[in-house]
Homo-oligomer: A and B are copies of this chain.
Amino acid sequence: MIDGLGGLADAEHGTELEEAATPNLDRLAAEGVTGLLEPVGPGITPGSGPGHLALFGYDPLRFVLGRGALSAAGLGVELRPGDVAARGNLATLDPSGAVVDRRAGRIADEEARQVVDELAEAVPGVEFHHEKGHRVLVVFHGEGLDPRVSDTDPQATGVPPLEPRALDPAAEPTARLVQERLRRIAEALEHEPSANGLLLRGFDSHRELPSFRDRTGMRAAADAVYPMYRGIARLLGFDVLGPPADLDEQGRLLEKHRDEADFLFVHHKGADAAGEDGDRAAKIAEIERLDRAIPDLVAAAEPGVIAVTGDHATPSQMAAHSWHPVPLLVHAPRCGRDDVDRFGERWSRGGGLGLRPSLHLLPILMANAGRLAKYGA
């Protein structure tokens, strides 16, 4: 799973994947079959939750997760009934209160942890957990809090954070509580040089999802550096390995645990982060870095069936997630073979798997693994 893998070809360039040198992925594509996946629906830009759920066989229109719940699961923070969690971004505001940088200059982990510790001390009734970089999990404690509260992250610079509003009358008390806590948070951050704001999005409460094992009969394991992706996997009942610090460690974890799982989910974040930064060269470099790791990852996992794809597109021209289809390759003894011998959107378009919803992937992989019985007599 190469996060944010999909790109956007324009008059000047192919997509990042098309232009990256990926001899190992190309070899898998040549020996296997390729196609394109549409994560949620035509024209729909997915968040990370829906993008992953679809690939794991959960209809993202039926199973909906807030980022708060995802972050909490990723950090192993158990939400109690009545709590409400949100994803916080440490951000930089200008003297007028407008957002200058939604990620506080991609603040370093150590500095961010200090800011989070100060917040925890200054603001009672709220839990703060540092995730990674500018990302913070914020848990509001209370009695019967209601997660139907709107984001304060304006998803833009040059404007001030939004006021949290109740999206349902029942959430009015929660919205008021969040407003009050945000005032204290603002006071506590006032003196910070860069991380002087906190933007909240994806309010959510405790959720139960049916387990992947119950749905598929497969034991699954997640091998991901970033907490949120471990969180998604944990919500579905995956064993969560590590945490690993980098691709090398991800490989070692695969080798160690490969016999304990039928389904191994390996997550690579860098391509998405570079795409969101609008850094085309960095996204290409991240894809090439993953490509170089492929032989080791394959040797470590000894998989019978390999799929390489993304949870959504993050074209560097847009510096954001987008709705464009995501390339897919499947490599297995019985996957068939098409005429495609390079991995990338323009070639995948003519591949043997066609253009499909991401939800189609899991049954195709299970079939290739000999795990689906004949339907009907």
Residues of A within 8 A of B (CB): 8-11, 31, 36, 40-51, 60, 64-68, 70, 87, 201-202, 204, 315, 317-318, 321-325, 334, 336-339, 345-346, 349-352, 354-356, 360-368, 372-377
Q: What are 7 residue pairs bridging A and B, where the CB atoms are less than 8 Å apart in the complex?
A: A44-B363, A44-B367, A60-B376, A66-B377, A318-B334, A322-B367, A323-B372
For the complex, what is the distance from the CA of A101 to the CA of B321, rounded to whole Å? 55
* Protomer copies: 2
CB closest chain-B residue, reference A337: B9
Docked-complex contact A375 and B40, CB < 8 angstroms: yes
For the complex, what is the distance from the CA of A334 to the CA of B10, rounded to whole Å? 8
- Supplied contacts A45-B375, A315-B334, A317-B334, 18 more A-B pairs, CB within 8 Å: A9-B336, A9-B338, A40-B376, A41-B360, A43-B360, A43-B362, A43-B363, A43-B368, A44-B363, A44-B375, A45-B374, A46-B375, A49-B376, A60-B375, A339-B346, A350-B350, A354-B354, A355-B355
Question: With A36-B354, A334-B318, A338-B346 as given contacts, are A376 and B46 in contact (CB-CB < 8 Å)?
Answer: yes
Question: With A36-B354, A336-B8, A339-B346 as given contacts, are A376 and B42 in contact (CB-CB < 8 Å)?
Answer: no
For the complex, what is the distance from the CA of A42 to the CA of B373, rounded to whole Å? 13
> Main secondary structure on chain A at its contact with chain B?
loop
What are the 8 tightest A-B residue pairs by CB atom distance, in nearest-first order? A67-B377, A43-B363, A43-B367, A202-B377, A42-B360, A47-B376, A354-B355, A50-B376
**Cβ contact of A45, chosen from B10, B42, B367, cutoff 8 A:** B367
Q: How far is the CB of A38 from chain B (nearest CB, A)?
A: 9
Which residues of B are found within 8 Å of A318, using beta-carbon distances?
A: 334
For the complex, what is the distance from the CA of A372 to the CA of B66, rounded to whole Å? 18
**Cβ contact of A42, chosen from B40, B346, B356, cutoff 8 A:** B356
CB closest chain-B residue, reference A68: B377
Q: How far is the CB of A326 from chain B (nearest CB, A)?
A: 12
Q: How far is the CB of A203 from chain B (nearest CB, A)?
A: 9
